[in-house]
Amino acid sequence: MTPDQRNTAASTAGSKTIDTGLRLLEILKDHPDGLTITELAQLAGIHRNAVSRHLVALGHHRLAARIGTRFTLGLGIVELNAAVQHRLRSAASAALQVLADACNATAFITVLDIDESQAVVLTVAEPRVSQIHVSYRAGTRHPVNRGASGIAILAGRPPPPEERPAITQARAIGYSVTAGELQPGAWGVAAPIITAGRPANASVGVVTIGARDENEIAPLVLSAASEIARLL
């Protein structure tokens, strides 16, 4: 084998190792109560010994944790998620304030929680010239399939076998519109933040008291989503 062939083989083996490790993390994400090595091996379709070796490596980086005979995601995942959210918050701050002022409405970034069942408000910008606007608190949670922001995130991801018609519609037009789903009297528009063609994990939107002109607000929200994605 030539040096170039050895380098190619080593690179291929390294890529396969990384791919397998990521696949194990994705499986663990879908099983918050943890899995045994045997269960992981069956779901991943690889040998138990290989799973064991990968779990040791992931454990060294605190990406996987052992509880008795079961393995779960480690706290390192939370730290990585926090770092990504900090970057998103920093990149979005200026664009978010521009959106809030342009719409004269409260603007916000929402992210998908780690278990993917809830959406969490990451950061909020209030309009600087408005006398009356919706007060929205960072850290607020709601089911991801409810409200414009959560629906927008799901619309920026591949469709599952079944989903709410509102999500399908939002995917078709690029943004979601809801009224009164999370708060009586509130009206919201949100668009997914999509980077490098990857499934959305966040959205940007605005919320107002009472309905506004969708044709006026939606382009501003879509523009903000594109700008934030560009900055990321």
Nearest to 93 by CA among 5, 195, 219, 224: 224
Give backbone dihedrals phi and psi of 16, rounded to 5 degrees, phi first.
-65, -40
CATH 3.30.450.40 fits 78-231, yes or no: yes
Scanning the chain, the segments in alpha helix (DSSP H) are 3-29, 37-44, 48-60, 75-103, 147-155, 165-173, 214-231
Domain with CATH 1.10.10.10 in the chain: 3-73
Residues, the chain: 232
Count of CB atoms situated within 10 Å of the CB of 98: 16
Report how far residue 113's alpha carbon sits from residue 76's, in angstroms, rounded to the nearest whole number.
15
- The larger pLDDT score, comparing residue 35 to residue 78, is at 35
pTM above 0.75, yes or no: no
Domain with CATH 3.30.450.40 in the chain: 78-231
pLDDT at 16 over 90: no
Residue recorded with tokens 């993390």: 25
- Please state which CATH number belongs to domain 3-73: 1.10.10.10
Is residue 31 within 8 Å of 44, Cβ to Cβ? no
List pLDDT tens digits, range 119-176. 988 888 988 876 666 677 778 889 999 999 999 999 999 998 889 999 999 999 999 9
Q: C-alpha angle with apex 192: 191 to 193, nearest 5 degrees?
A: 120
65: enclosing H helix or E strand: strand 64-67
In the chain, the percentage of residues whose pLDDT exceeds 70 is 84
pLDDT score, position 91: 67
Write the DSSP symbol of residue 35.
B
pLDDT band at 31 (very low <50, low <70, confident <90, very high): confident
